[in-house]
Chain A
Amino acid sequence: MTPPDPVLDVRDLHVSYGDLRILRGVTFAVGRGEGVVLLGANGSGKSTLMRAINGLAPASSGRVALDGAQIIGARRPALRMARRRMGYVFQQFNLVPQLSAFQNVLFGVMGQRPLGILNCLNAVARAEDREHALSCLERVGLADRAGHRPTELSGGQQQRVAIARMLMQRPSMVVADEPIASLDPKAGREVLDLLWRIVDDEGLSMLCSLHQLDLAREYADRVIGLKAGKVQVNAATGSIDPAGLDGLYDGATRPEDATETKIAAV
């Protein structure tokens, strides 16, 4: 199932760590303004796929293109250019704990300013960047916590700051790797509501990995199911077969993958 105007185009993507093949020919696309949820058991390769899409995990082969710009095999300047348009929300928030929420949000434009960090430290940042950072914190309801360090915020608040940092980038595509996995159900629901609302309001495309089938059905336009490093399900949320989703979680564990790989190698 390929959208007519793909923002993200992933073709035959393979990622291996030594003998362990994590992704085995993953192919899919995310359309402009489309919200896609990625489902799969632990070890199915979801996080590796997310990381490979941003170039954080090295791919063995395949193609990943964001707005037509190639990421796999791109030289460093081209890769950095492509990353600027991709907002990434991490499971563990990944804020710099020693710096304020405001400074963490300002870092969202680090890749877009000449001299990088020297133009996005609070003391020297452009006035429009400072205003935008504050407006991003306002969007996530944390303008009053701008001066607080991440360690002084709850998990849900930290993820909101991470979402504000993503917004600061003004991305065309959002990649969210299990953004609520480290949060309690209430905070997780609030963060997911906020993230999805922002993505809708801004008309962004999103690829978001989740573990909750009910949330996937509720939020996503389309669901992609990953099992043992391969796409097993790729269908619009309305037309999806529940049995097919349940099948994603049947016996798909990493040790079996490894055994399967060894057998394949023989």
Chain B
Amino acid sequence: MSDQTLTIPRFRSPSPVAWIIAVGFLAFFLQGLWAADMSLDRLQQGAVNLGRFLGQAMPPDFSNWYGIADAMWETLNIAIVGVTFGCLFSIPLAILAASNTSPNRVVRSIARLVIAVSRTIPDLIWALIFVVAVGLGPLAGILAIIMDTIGFAARFYSERFEEVQKGPSEALTSTGAGRLSVIMGAILPESFASMTATSLFSVEKAIRSAVTLGLVGAGGIGVELSTAMRLFRYDDAAAIILVVLVAVIGFEQLSSSIRKRVI
């Protein structure tokens, strides 16, 4: 018995497929390092440049505080309006995409495709598309946030719908209630806490996105940041970055406390 125990190998040799994946990953990683032209000299020079940037950025210049506040307000507008519409559109899409609420397989596949497309295309690409479609400004930002939110929220809503207990839905079905009434009476209330948490995460994500969307002309404080950086007004840029930091952290704290109350 003890002899048999001693012959048990400590490691099992990986399968050929595992070897191929490991070697492939290593090769891709090394090629990536080489392509980035990473060297100690460049990193040292980068650190020096960063120090110079910080030196020019400090102290932050808040003399244009009204312009910064106005742009931040527009960013929050873009985020909140975009997320509100995004979450509202996500609910019916999620109902059509979840296996326990979708009317049939074809509708489910189409709804899942729409959600996958919304999620797969990054928010910056959506912003570029909508800038072309509706022109520069906050409307393009709002539309981009709507698409980005649908990709995120509809997926999580539908996964939550699929996880709810079957019992309450069956109880309402047994009374003769219709499918939509069962969804609204049992599945949505059971998913409410999770949907609230997902929606709050969407707002946090949208505020961060709305900042970067301005870089491609979709309105908000990103436009101000982009202009300051291009004109080498790093002290202005530092003030903008600090305002964004405070706004994002502030909303994260608020959203965290709401989540704790709801869940």
Contact = CB atoms under 8 A, between A and B. Distances in A.
B257 interface: no
Interface stretch (A15-23, A28-36, A83-91, A246-254): A83-91
B172 A95 contact: no
B163 to A, nearest CB: 14
B176 A83 contact: yes
Interface in B140-172: 167-168, 170-172
Given A96-B186, A98-B189, A99-B189, A107 B167 contact: no
Given A96-B186, A96-B190, A107-B172, A116 B167 contact: no
A133 to B, nearest CB: 13
B173 interface: yes
Contact of A56 (B173, B185, B189): B173
Contacts of B190: 96-98
B194 to A, nearest CB: 11
A87 B171 CA distance: 10
Interface in A101-149: 107-112, 116-118
A213 interface: no
A117 B167 contact: no
A107 to B, nearest CB: 6
A80 interface: yes
* B-side interface size class: 20 to 34
Nearest to B173: A56
Contact of A90 (B171, B177, B185, B193): B171
A84 B168 contact: no
B178 A88 contact: no
A94 B185 contact: no
Nearest to A85: B176
A165 interface: yes
What does DSSP make chain B's interface, helix, strand, loop or mixed? helix
Contacts of B180: 116-117
A137 to B, nearest CB: 17
A81 interface: yes
Nearest to A106: B185
B7 interface: no
Contacts of A110: 172, 175-177, 181, 185
A209 interface: no
A96 B168 contact: yes
A206 to B, nearest CB: 15
Nearest to B187: A96
A116 to B, nearest CB: 3
A110 to B, nearest CB: 4
B64 interface: no
A165 B172 CA distance: 10
Interface in B167-221: 167-168, 170-178, 180-181, 184-186, 189-190, 192-193
A54 interface: yes
Nearest to A99: B189
A169 interface: yes
B189 to A, nearest CB: 4
B189 A83 contact: no
A70 interface: no
Nearest to B189: A98
B176 A94 contact: no
Contacts of A92: 167
A108 B168 CA distance: 12
A168 to B, nearest CB: 9
A67 to B, nearest CB: 14
A81 B175 CA distance: 9
Given A98-B190, A107-B185, A56 B170 contact: yes
Contact of A111 (B170, B177, B189): B177
A118 B193 CA distance: 21
Contact of B175 (A95, A99, A111, A118): A111
B189 A96 contact: yes
A83 B175 contact: yes
Nearest to B179: A76
A88 B172 contact: no
B34 to A, nearest CB: 55
Interface of A: 54, 56, 79-84, 86-88, 90, 92-99, 107-112, 116-118, 162, 165, 169
Closest 8 CB pairs of A and B: A111-B176, A116-B181, A94-B171, A83-B176, A94-B167, A84-B176, A110-B177, A88-B174
26 contacts: A79-B176, A82-B176, A84-B175, A84-B176, A86-B174, A87-B175, A88-B171, A94-B167, A94-B168, A95-B168, A95-B171, A97-B168, A98-B190, A107-B172, A107-B177, A110-B175, A110-B176, A111-B175, A111-B176, A111-B177, A116-B177, A116-B178, A116-B181, A116-B184, A117-B180, A162-B171
Given A83-B173, A86-B174, A92-B167, 4 more contacts: A79-B176, A81-B176, A94-B171, A96-B186
Interface of B: 167-168, 170-178, 180-181, 184-186, 189-190, 192-193
